[in-house]
A and B are shown apart, each in its own frame.
Chain A
């Protein structure tokens, strides 16, 4: 199993509060991703990183920011959580070579009340 750890695994937060989710990898992979999974939508890309301090937006990036100060850590921040951000969040990694699969973490279930 790829060494990916997401924390926390579960979180309940109130609307309007900031939330940070952490993804930590031990594989030294170049690319890291944050996805959200929602019923009827599958997995949608929020943001991704292709190196330290190099990040880009995915298809559902509004309301989210990310940071990558070290190869092994990729943080996802909800600056002011909304109920529409209640979801399961997955971190994924790839080495960045062509035609390679992504490895996923166990997920973080976030509930915004």
Chain B
């Protein structure tokens, strides 16, 4: 069973506009959430994270929002740039499971110039 879900396989956005990527999870024990970015033929690279004690974390153009009651997190990219075109994975971990990370299936973002 997929404990972390990304229900949108793809997303297209115009350059300069906001990109919103969504992620849902089922395990209420998850307490740390991350977003990774992946270009073709490369490994995933860490983008931004959020602890369950927060509901928002911001880093430059990237903001992650966490809604624990809805078991939902989202990544906002403002403004979107063509270089942001990549596959984005959300991930979650639970301190009780030995530093295991559970990943979603990914959302392919295309930013149109």
Contacts and interface: CB of A to CB of B under 8 A. Distances in A.
Interface of B: 2, 4, 6, 31-32, 34, 36, 41-46, 49, 51, 89, 91, 95, 98-106
A-B residue pairs, 3 tightest by C-beta: A104-B43, A43-B103, A42-B105
Nearest to B1: A59
Given A99-B51, A106-B42, A44 B100 contact: no
Nearest to A41: B105
Given A45-B102, A99-B32, A103-B46, 18 more contacts: A33-B101, A41-B105, A42-B105, A43-B44, A43-B91, A45-B101, A50-B99, A90-B44, A94-B99, A96-B99, A98-B32, A99-B49, A99-B51, A101-B46, A102-B46, A102-B101, A106-B41, A106-B42
Nearest to A43: B103
Given A101-B46, A102-B46, A107-B42, A31 B99 contact: yes
A35 B44 CA distance: 11
Contacts of B89: 42-43
Contacts of A56: 98
A48 interface: yes
Interface of A: 4, 31, 33, 35, 40-45, 48, 50, 56, 58, 90, 92, 94, 96, 98-99, 101-107
9 contacts: A31-B99, A42-B4, A45-B100, A48-B98, A99-B51, A102-B46, A104-B44, A106-B42, A107-B43
A51 to B, nearest CB: 11
A106 B99 contact: no
Q: Which of B34, B36, B95, B100 has the largest number of chain A CB atoms within 10 A?
A: B100
Contacts of A99: 31-32, 49, 51, 95
A89 B104 CA distance: 16
